[in-house]
Amino acid sequence: MAPSREWLEKDYYAALGVSGSATQAEIKKAYRRLAQKHHPDANHGDEEAEERFKEVSAAYDVLGDEKRRAEYDRVREMASAGFGGGFGGGGFGGPGGARVRFEDLGGFGDIFGDLFGGAAGPRRSPQRGADLETEVRISFAQAMEGATVPVRLSGPAPCETCGGSGAKPGTSVRICSQCGGAGTVAIDQGMFSIAQPCPRCGGSGREIEERCTTCGGTGAERRTRTLKVKIPAGVDDGARIRLAGRGEPGGPQGRPGDLYVLVRVAPHDVFGRRGDHLTVDVPVTYPEAALGAKVQVPTLNGSVTLKVPAGTPSGKTFRIRGRGIPKRGGGKGDLLATVSVAVPSKVSKKERELLEQLREASDESPRSRAS
């Protein structure tokens, strides 16, 4: 737990009735005695006892831990060196005393900075522009081959007149004359000094000689811009592509945000996708499945011949290597061809006669194998 302002306002040693040189054992003994005396269970309805119990518990939370006790003692020692904040003095240090910057005190600097209403933090960084997100729709073929597509954005963009500097063309941007480019100035508080954003440059560390008339010195203007987005081959539906620095401008000296492009890929009439693999259904006739056959299977680049072995069941998937989707690291996935036996909805008289002969010749039914 970090040091709190209460450490300057509360005397935890007095709350436990011990001296500053008390041992940890003496502190623990004093806490147990007082906690037992003022515990709410032993003082029903006594609000004063309840508050005293909370005070004793808060004191022991700090003094009962050697590390936190040492921090507490350090804060109290620094405070007693000269400032009022509840300790009956006025201001930090005295003539000739060393001056300390709040930001050099770590967590303690936050306490003292709060008491004086100052900003004890480091220099404020220039504001970063907001990230943007847009969407592009591409065909299945574009996703497989890769493409460069335009994206239109309307909103804040770097000022075309000043190039985002905020300065009128032909004028210069100088280092701030008040803070010397640091972005902060120190306000003396006796022994301590508080770092605050420079009032002249607003913390940017620079001064504009003459502001741009188009953007008023902000470095940004609202307009419509068109960007080209490179879509890598093999991109999947729902992928997000990041374009660094293409979001909203961050103003003078500020870093622009990023642009995220959400890719939507239209489905294909023939192919499906499973990771880096393409999928395709290959309809075959019953004779082809029963007797075996060589059938043509479509791919992204022409067709290939697939040998269907005799007795192939409907739903059997064959892997055709290297005919799938381009991979980011190189190479391609596979084409997964699933055979489905096509049952005709209408048959000719001759076909019916042959099918009836086949049925009579079959001596085994698939239902008998299932039972």
Q: Are 96 and 89 in contact (CB under 8 A)?
A: no
* pLDDT confidence of residue 54: 86
* pLDDT confidence of residue 96: 41
Domains and CATH numbers, the chain: 6-79 (1.10.287.110), 127-171+216-267 (2.60.260.20), 272-361 (2.60.260.20)
* pLDDT confidence of residue 103: 47
* pLDDT confidence of residue 97: 43
* pLDDT confidence of residue 277: 95
Per-residue pLDDT of the chain (371 residues; tens, 9 = 90+): 555 667 777 899 999 999 989 999 999 999 989 988 888 778 877 888 888 888 888 889 889 989 889 888 888 787 665 444 443 333 344 444 444 444 444 455 555 555 444 444 444 455 788 899 999 999 999 999 999 999 999 888 888 898 888 888 988 888 888 888 787 887 765 545 567 788 877 777 788 888 899 988 888 889 899 999 999 999 999 999 999 989 888 866 678 889 999 999 999 999 999 999 999 999 999 889 989 999 999 999 999 999 999 999 999 999 999 999 999 888 999 999 999 998 888 888 887 888 788 777 776 666 555 55
* pLDDT confidence of residue 119: 43
